[in-house]
Structure 1
């Protein structure tokens, strides 16, 4: 079996400790969240200069861009994990 994960008492974790633990478990989730915030910040900035585009269309495009950022980061993370565990795994003697 793979390395056993340590047992934590999750009831006693603060929000900061939970975020730190999750970032160690899956760093691509944090990259996805940062990408989401960046896409939303860029969208808020661009909303000012949207021109003749209707607000609903602009918000739909912003939603698709933000979701695409998160899905891309998670897909890259899954691919990295699969390559690391199945292709580049060390042979045990």
Structure 2
């Protein structure tokens, strides 16, 4: 096996994972929203770490963790509610147009 064969298998594996991520994002758009919100809150928490004042570091980190978890849980909740809406409200209307 040569080095070029090695890198081609890696690139095809990365492309397939990227395409899987894009496909999953289209199926449930709230997952990447939750991931982005999580990354933004953690980045903001790290940025504010320098200017936290008299607040203990442990308290600052706990607040950042709770905010990041709330963002992810909120995105998952909205995703579930959206899928339930599509499943139980939109789909019955499409199958029974007489109502």
TM-score after normalising by structure 1:
0.79
Runs (4+) of structure 1 exceeding 3 A deviation are: none
RMSD value, Cα? 1.9
Q: Which has the higher contact order (CA 8 A, sep 6+)?
A: 1
1:59 counterpart residue number: 61
Q: CA deviation at 1:19?
A: 1.3
Which structure 1 residue ranges, 5 or more long, are not aligned?
A: 1-10
Distance 1:73 1:12 in 2: 26
What is the SS of the residue equivalent to 2:38?
Answer: helix
Structure 1 or 2, whichever has the larger Rg, is 2
Given the two structures, how large is their TM-score scaled by the length of structure 2? 0.74
**Higher share of residues assigned helix:** 2
Q: Which runs of no fewer than 5 residues in structure 2 stay unpaired? A: 1-12
Q: 1:86 to 1:44 in 2, by over 3 A?
A: same
Aligned residues: 83
